[in-house]
Chain A
Amino acid sequence: MPEITIDGQKIEFNQGMTILEAARSRGGDLVPPTMCYYSKLKDTGGYCRTCIVKVEAESVKNPRALPKPVASCRTLAQDGMVVKNQTSPEVLEARAGVVEFLLINHPLDCPVCDQAGECSLQDLGYEHGKMDTRYEFKRREFEQRDIGDKIKLHMNRCILCYRCVKTAEQITDGRVHGVCSRGDVAEISTYIEQAIDNDFSGNVIDVCPVGALTDKTFRFKNRVWFTKPVDAHRDCQKCCGKVRLWYKGEDILRVTARKDLYGEVENWICNECRFEKKKTAEWVIEGPSKVDRHSVVSANHYLAPEMKNDLSKLILNPDAGNNAGSSPLSKEQE
């Protein structure tokens, strides 16, 4: 089996896998962060440049180093390839640069953003960004828009990952939205103010890594870290019906698809399940969701390092810190 070395670890992979896929097959710190790549969709990735890595040797046959860092999500792994991710200061510096670029025009309105707490950009900013911004100009601004009666487009927050465009293209019939204009005024837009209207359009909310596309039935209802995720299913004619319900007390505030370790949707769900079934009686409850994903809030990232050390002594179960909804912070707030 071919073998690739990432940050000194040898990983066996199947021919045709990208560097990122090979890294994910091992897991852990050597996995580069991603913003635009989405394993459930075809042809995603390559745009955000957060997953760039340094290739020290291309392959057994051609052991030369590549002159430029490459996007790991789009570069095929090769036998004998040697890749540096975490271990290359050059990569970390470049990645910090990408984070800065992604944030200069981002409104940083996390306190009023529904995505806060499960936002990939928050995670990325915390883990790979710098404390300060050097940007001192006016940020670009767009009007907020409704695309359909259930979806809000908040273009200011968009990082142009193209995920929603690819989702619409690949899982729905006839995409009616896309990217208009170019450069830093490029925007997600519908075809002449057309509403996005089909049974699976709601999935664009789930694939959006930031708060640019939000669920209007959940907007401003609650912070995500105050809600409890529960896995449930129902017999649906249109989709698999396997969803995640987000409870506040007895009420279902929101329905989303189930997401995996990397925050990617496991099964696409239809709009009926997502927007209209908000009564417990309509669902068969499976039990609390196991959320492995470390969001900024659930992992106490917002605390200063010294505070985090103090708190960690209080945590009896060391795995608790990785569970959304069961971290000390959310316990206190409950």
Chain B
Amino acid sequence: MKEGKKILFEHIDVPGIEGIATYRSCGGYQSVDKALTSMTATEVVHDVITSGLRGRGGAGFQTGTKWNFLAKPEGVPRYLVCNADESEPGTFKDRYLMEKIPHLLIEGMIVSSYALGVNKAYIYIRGEYFYLYKILEQAIEEAYKAGWLGQNILNSQYNLDLYMHIGAGAYICGEETALLESLEGKRGNPRIKPPFPAVAGLYGCPTVVNNVETIAAVPYIVQHGGEHYASFGTEKSTGTKLISASGHINKPGVYEIELGLPVEEFIYSDSYCGGIRNGNELKAVVAGGSSVPILPKHLILQTPDGQPRLMSYESLSEGGFAAGTMLGSGGFIVMDETTSIVMNLHTFARFYHHESCGQCSPCREGTGWMEKILHKILDGHGTLSDIDLLWDIQSKIEGKTICALGDAAAWPVASAIRHFRPEFEAYIKDPSAIKKFSHYNEKYKIAETAI
């Protein structure tokens, strides 16, 4: 079987890759050399545009377009902020990347900053990743010592300072404008857009906020050219993507896949997830982190028109929200037949209730209400009208909030009801049906094949 192209993880298993010497011997920092000595900033941006790279944080927006939007007024500093506040449930790819190969992120930050004309860049990392903060600080120090950061890098007259900032454990600070507020030392409330960060971001200056994985892909693009990167993946989803596979599979972990890989192959192939644990039947998949719609087996393996579904932005969203989902941040949560969708949804709802910032009313009040209704159903006191009520609440949150957290809270509820309504009804009609899932109280037994 053909192994997919590895771009980010090419050298991930080299011992000592977290140190600058080994990283350099594996070809590290060559892109900085190339960009600073032989390319103009516009050429780098152009390469990123032709590469078709899309934001890996969840929204999947074209990175090149985003960079192009960056306002460039005279005499005003610009900023690049790396969003390492990876908090989406089911997503742990950035953590792996930063832990194993921190210099890749730093290299990406330097090249991207150069392309955007930025002299001060920030990495905003979540508070729970404190150990990664230490790893990255160490790597930044090494990069400063080796002359990749600081004043007059490679005698090119280009200066760059890179700073780390640690969050304090709020999911909402992964939303780019809340992240900027938090970085400025304020309460992490999302800002009202417009203006977008490209016009008025950090300290009111033009700012680009990119995900860790997006920035880590830039060195390869610069070194090998945008067209070469675009030759991987599909036409609309170029390159590779890190997928955090978790749930009831034999081999959970972080996989780098070439976009366009069939979902079925990803779940069942031994190179990837290795099939469902204990030979169980697949029930449902949340394909891109807890926010995206959940899909039942028949819709995740095939598109509504019977084509095999692929791991790509366009294929996963085929069928709209009625029958599709999103690639999101690549948090691939697999559920087997022993999973209770309602219990799972309750967990998600509890999460969004806990993490809502409380700024705008639909999300602040609606997320708590949905959680309470789900709790009531699981307690055996639900009524059939509660399902319609849940549906109505989610429809009144979706699209009516300041930031995407409202949508993220609404979509899992909507999709669970859309695809698994009979399960809700079964619980309500016969509360004892919940007992079937008493194994939820047992401690999880992890399959031996899982490493």
Which residues of A are in contact with B by a Cβ distance under 8 Å? 45-49, 52, 67-69, 71, 74, 76, 94, 97-98, 100-102, 104-105, 134-135, 137, 159-160, 162, 178-179, 181-186
Q: Are B369 and A104 in contact (CB under 8 A)?
A: yes
What are the residues of chain A within 8 A of B389 when measuring CB–CB? 134
Cα A135 to Cα B368 with chains together (Å): 11
Closest CB in chain B relative to A51 CB, distance in Å: 11
Q: Is the CB of B358 within 8 A of A186?
A: yes
Contact B358 A49 (CB under 8 A): no
- Given A101-B366, A104-B369, A184-B365, are A46 and B358 also a contact pair (CB < 8 Å)? no
Decide if A184 touches B400 in the complex (CB within 8 Å).
no
Task: Determine if A105 and B365 form an interchain contact, defined as CB atoms under 8 angstroms apart.
Answer: yes
Contact A47-B361, Cβ < 8 Å, known A182-B170, A183-B353, A184-B368: yes
- Set of chain B residues within 8 Å of A105, measured between Cβ atoms: 365
Residue B182 is within 8 A (CB to CB) of chain A in the complex: no
* Mask: chain B, 352-364; 1 = CB below 8 Å from A; 0 = not: 0111111111101
Give the complex CA separation of A178 and B372 in angstroms: 28
How distant is the Cα of A182 from the Cα of B353 in the complex, in angstroms? 10
Contacts of A47 in B (CB 8 A): 359-361, 402
Complex Cα spacing A71 to B399, Å: 11
- In the complex, whether B36 has a CB less than 8 A from a CB of chain A is no
Interface centre among B358, B399, B401 (most CB of A within 10 A): B358
**A183-B356 in contact (CB<8A):** yes
Given A46-B192, A182-B170, A183-B368, verify A67-B399 contact (CB < 8 Å): yes
Check A52–B400 contact: CB distance below 8 A. Answer: yes
Chain B nearest CB: distance from A47 CB in Å? Answer: 5
A47 to B401, CA, bound (A): 8
Contact status of A101 and B399, CB under 8 A, knowing A46-B192, A183-B354: no
**CB < 8 Å A-B pair total:** 89
- The answer for the CA separation of A101 and B372 in the assembled complex, in Å, is 14
Q: How far is the CA of A181 from the CA of B368 in the complex (A)?
A: 15
Point out the residue from B170, B194, B355, B361 that lies within 8 Å of A49, measured CB to CB: B361
Q: A101-B396, A104-B365 are in contact. List 20 more A-B contacts (CB 8 A).
A: A49-B400, A49-B401, A69-B399, A71-B192, A76-B194, A94-B400, A97-B400, A101-B361, A104-B369, A137-B369, A160-B361, A160-B364, A179-B358, A182-B355, A183-B356, A183-B367, A183-B368, A184-B353, A185-B358, A186-B357
Q: Chain B interface: which size bin?
A: 20 to 34
26 CB < 8 A contacts A-B = A47-B359, A47-B360, A48-B361, A49-B360, A67-B399, A71-B192, A94-B396, A97-B362, A101-B396, A102-B365, A105-B365, A137-B376, A162-B359, A178-B187, A179-B358, A182-B170, A182-B356, A183-B355, A183-B356, A183-B364, A183-B368, A184-B356, A184-B365, A184-B367, A184-B368, A186-B364
Check if B358 sits within 8 Å of A160, measured CB to CB.
yes
Cross-chain contact B365 with A101 (CB below 8 angstroms)? yes
In the complex, whether B172 has a CB less than 8 A from a CB of chain A is yes
Chain A contacts for B376, CB-based, 8 A: 137
CA distance A68 to B410 in the complex (A): 15
Is the Cβ of A68 less than 8 Å from the Cβ of B399?
A: yes
Query: Which residues of B does A touch, CB under 8 Å?
Result: 170, 172, 187, 192, 194, 353-362, 364-369, 372, 376, 389, 392, 396, 399-402
The distance from the CB of A169 to the nearest CB of chain B, in whole angstroms, is 12
User: In the docked arrangement, what's the CA distance between A68 and B398, Å?
Assistant: 9
Q: Are B170 and A97 in contact, with the CB atoms below 8 A?
A: no
Nearest Cβ on chain A to B181's Cβ, whole angstroms: 13
For B353, B355, B361, which residue has the most chain A Cβ atoms within 10 angstroms? B361
**In whole Å, how far is B246's beta carbon from the nearest beta carbon of chain A?**
26
B58 vs chain A, min Cβ distance (A): 17
Contact between B362 and A98 (Cβ–Cβ < 8 Å)? yes
Contact at A160–B362, with CB atoms within 8 Å?
A: no
Closest to B365 in A: A101
Q: How far is the CA of A56 from the CA of B354 in the complex (A)?
A: 35
Complex Cα spacing A230 to B399, Å: 45
With A101-B366, A104-B369 in contact, do A183 and B399 touch (Cβ < 8 Å)? no
B240 to chain A, nearest CB (A): 30
Tell which of A46, A71, A97, A160 touches B396, judged by Cβ atoms closer than 8 Å: A97
Q: Are B402 and A181 in contact (CB under 8 A)?
A: no
- Given the complex of chains A and B, what is the CA–CA distance between A45 and B365 in angstroms? 18
Cβ distance A181 to chain B, nearest Cβ, rounded Å: 7
Collect the chain A residues with CB atoms within 8 Å of residue B353's CB.
Answer: 183-184
Q: Which of A48, A97, A104, A182 contacts B360 (CB 8 A)?
A: A48
Residues of B within 8 A of A71 (CB): 192, 402
Residues on the B chain within 8 Å of A162, using CB: 359
Residues of A contacting B366 in the complex (Cβ-Cβ under 8 angstroms) = 101
Give every chain B residue within 8 A of A186 (Cβ-Cβ): 357-358, 364
5 closest residue pairs by CB, A with B: A97-B396, A186-B358, A101-B365, A46-B192, A68-B399
Chain A residues with CB under 8 A of B362: 49, 97-98, 101
A46 to B337, CA, bound (A): 43
Select from chain A the residue with minimum beta-carbon distance to B352. A183
* Given contacts A102-B365, A104-B369, A135-B369, A160 and B399 within 8 Å (CB-CB): no
Across-interface contacts of A98 in B (CB, < 8 A): 361-362, 396, 400
Complex Cα gap A296–B359 (Å): 27
How many angstroms from the CA of A71 to the CA of B194 in the assembled complex?
Answer: 11
B421 to A: closest C-beta gap in Å: 19
- Residues on A with C-beta less than 8 A from B357 are 182-183, 186
- A188 CB to nearest chain B CB (Å): 11
Greatest chain A CB density within 10 A among B192, B355, B365, B392 is at B365
Contacts of A181 in B (CB 8 A): 358
Residues of B within 8 Å of A68, CB to CB, are 399-400
Q: Distance in Å from the Cβ of A8 to the closest Cβ of chain B?
A: 24
What residues of chain B lie closer than 8 Å to A178, measured between beta carbons?
Answer: 187
Chain B residues closer than 8 Å to A182, beta-carbon distance: 170, 172, 355-358
From A67, A98, A102, A181, residue with most partner B Cβ within 10 Å: A98
CB distance from A271 to the nearest CB of B (A): 27
A185 proximity list for chain B (CB < 8 A): 358
* A179 CA / B186 CA spacing, docked (Å): 11
CB contact between B359 and one of A97, A135, A160 (< 8 Å): that residue:
A160
B386 smallest CB distance to A (angstroms): 10
Return chain B residues, CB-CB under 8 Å to A94. Answer: 396, 400
